[in-house]
Amino acid sequence: MVDEQRQPQQVRVKIPSLREDLEGLTPGTVVYLDGVVYTAREGVYKKVLDEGAPLPLDLPAVSDANFHCSPAAAREPDGRYNVGGVTATASFRFSQWMPQWFEKSGARIIIGKGGMSADDYRNLFVPAGAVYLTTVGYGTGALLGRGIKRVRDVFWLEELGIAQAMWVFEVENFGPFLVDSDLQGNSLFEQHTRQINARLGEVYAGLGPPALGRFGETDDRSDELV
């Protein structure tokens, strides 16, 4: 049963992270980050893992927090970057690259939108000692933009474009994020979805099936599409 009365607990975590900091995180904890965070999604994963390009920076030493996102950024005439906001992109599409990425990058914190499946947490995240943080809303682009103090570097900008490039941000009080998966693979989304599913029969009560069905249609509304 999801505990509804508890005020969400808030913590700040320094990056690169310490194991004991990650151990203190439980599903639903509100997290703010300080240090360096980088973006990597399909463009970077393909480049590094499928094509074998070397990592352009010493990742484990600089940052172990991989943000699945693309910034709203523009290059100013003086060569600096103006980052207005950042918003995460849905993470479930990236699970195929995660095991190798954990190994290669030393990532311990994955930040994104909507979490990954409970199986992914059990099979990929728990063995890697990694947690998953989800952005809030998900439209908190302006709050997250405030937390970015400086663009430290950007790699493969020409080749991959603004959305897919690898951005390296110096961040302060960067958040809010919510812990979805803790080090044991307990998932906030899973807990909530289970509770909602329990009532779905009632929600549909009395509504008959449509005259024309669809290929692939399931009548089990507790199924997920991701």
Partner 1 sequence: MISHQAVEQAAYDIMTKAAIDIPEDYLGGIKEMVTTEKAQLSCFVLQSMVENWEAASEDRRPMCADTGLPRYYVKVGNDARIEGGFVALERALRSATARATHDVPLRPNRVHPLWRTDHNNNVGINAPEIDWSFEPDADWIDITTVHKGGLFGTDYRMLFPGDGIDGIKRFYLDTLIAFGKRGLACQPAIVGVGLGGSKDTSMVLGKQAACLRIVGDRNPDEKIAALELELTDIGNNIGMGPMGFVGSSMVVDCHIEVGYTHTGGMPMSVHTFCLSSRRATARLHADGTVAFRTDPKWFTPYMRRESIEWSTSKDSLSKSV
How far apart CA 6 and CA 211 sit, in angstroms, is 45
- To the nearest whole angstrom, how small is the minimum distance from the Cβ of residue 20 to partner 1? 25
How far apart CA 90 and CA 92 sit, in angstroms, is 6
**Which residue from 199, 215, 216, 220 is in contact with partner 1, where contact means CB under 8 A?**
199
Six token digits for residue 15: 């990056």
**Strand, helix or coil at 55?**
coil
The 10 Å Cβ neighbour count of residue 71 is: 25
- Mark residues 77-116: x for contact with ligand SF4 by CB under 6 A, - for none: ----------x-----------------------------
**Which residue from 119, 137, 149, 159 is in contact with partner 1, where contact means CB under 8 A?**
137
Tell the burial category of 104 from Cβ atoms under 10 Å away from its Cβ (0-12, 13-18, 19+).
Answer: middle
Residue 187 in contact with residue 126, Cβ under 8 Å? no
Q: Which of residues 28-67 bind partner 1 (CB under 8 A)?
A: 28, 30
Residue placing its CB nearer to partner 1 in the complex, 14 or 192: 192
Residue placing its CB nearer to ligand SF4 in the complex, 87 or 134: 87
- To the nearest whole angstrom, how small is the minimum distance from the Cβ of residue 127 to partner 1? 23
Taking CA atoms, 117 is separated from 65, 91, 125, in Å, by: 19, 10, 11
**What are the phi and psi torsion angles at 16 (to 5°)?**
-60, 145
Kindly list the residues in this chain that would bind partner 1 in the complex (CB under 8 A).
2, 4-8, 28, 30, 69-74, 82, 84-87, 89-90, 114-115, 134, 136-146, 161-163, 176, 178, 188-189, 192-193, 195-196, 199-200, 203-204, 206-208, 210-212, 214, 221, 224-226
Binding site for ligand SF4 (CB under 6 A): 87, 138-139
